[in-house]
Amino acid sequence: MKINFKKSLYVFLLVSQFACDRQNEEKPNVVWLVAEDQSQYFFPFYGDKSISLPNISKLTENGVIYEEMHSTYPVCAPARSAIITGMYPNSIGTGNMRAMKNDGKVQERSEKESGLNIPYYSSKFAEDIKPFTQILRENGYYCSNNAKRDYNFILRDEAWDESSKEASWENRNSNQPFFSVFNFGITHESSIWKRDKEPLVVDPNQLKVPPLFPDDSISRHSMAVNYSNLAEMDKQIGEIIKKLKDQGLYDNTYIFFYSDHGGPFPRHKRAIYETGTKVPLIVKFPQTIKPDKKRNRDLLNFIDFAPTILSIAGGIDIPEIYQGKAFLGKNKSENKRTFLFTASDRFDEHSDRIRSVRNFRYKYIKNYNVDKPHALQVDYRNQMALMQHLNKLNITGLLNEKQQLWFQVPKKEEELYDLQQDPFELNNLIDDTNYSSVLKTLKFQLDKWMNEINDLGYLSEKELVDYVTE
What are the residue numbers of the active site? 76
Question: How is residue 412 annotated by DSSP?
Answer: P
Question: What letters, b where the CB count within 10 A reaches 16 and e where it falls short, cover 350-367?
Answer: ebbbbbbbbbeebbbbbb
In angstroms, the Cα distances linking 241 to 164, 366, 442 are: 20, 42, 42
Distance CA 260, CA 279 (A): 7
Report d(CA 462, CA 119) in Å as an integer: 8
10 Å CB burial of residue 284 (0-12, 13-18, 19+) is: buried
SS3 per residue for 88-119: CHHHHCCCECCCCCCCCCCCCCCHHHHCCCCC
- Rg of the chain over Cα atoms, rounded to whole angstroms, equals 23
Q: 25 Cβ partners below 8 Å, 6+ apart?
A: 252
C-beta neighbour count of 104 within 10 angstroms: 18
Could you tell me if 81 and 101 are in contact, meaning their C-beta atoms sit under 8 angstroms apart?
Answer: no
| DSSP class per residue in 168-218 | -GGGSPTT--EEEEEEEGGGSTTHHHHTTTSPPSS-GGGPPPPTTS-SSHH
Cis peptide preceding 147, ω within 30 of 0: yes
Question: CA-CA distance, 368 to 37, in Å (whole number)?
Answer: 25
Burial of 162 (0-12, 13-18, 19+ CB in 10 A): middle
Distances (CA, A) of 248 to 23, 51, 143: 18, 30, 19
Give the span between the Cα atoms of 4 and 461, in whole angstroms: 73
Q: Are 268 and 276 in contact (CB under 8 A)?
A: yes
Residue 361 is inside which H or E element, if any? none
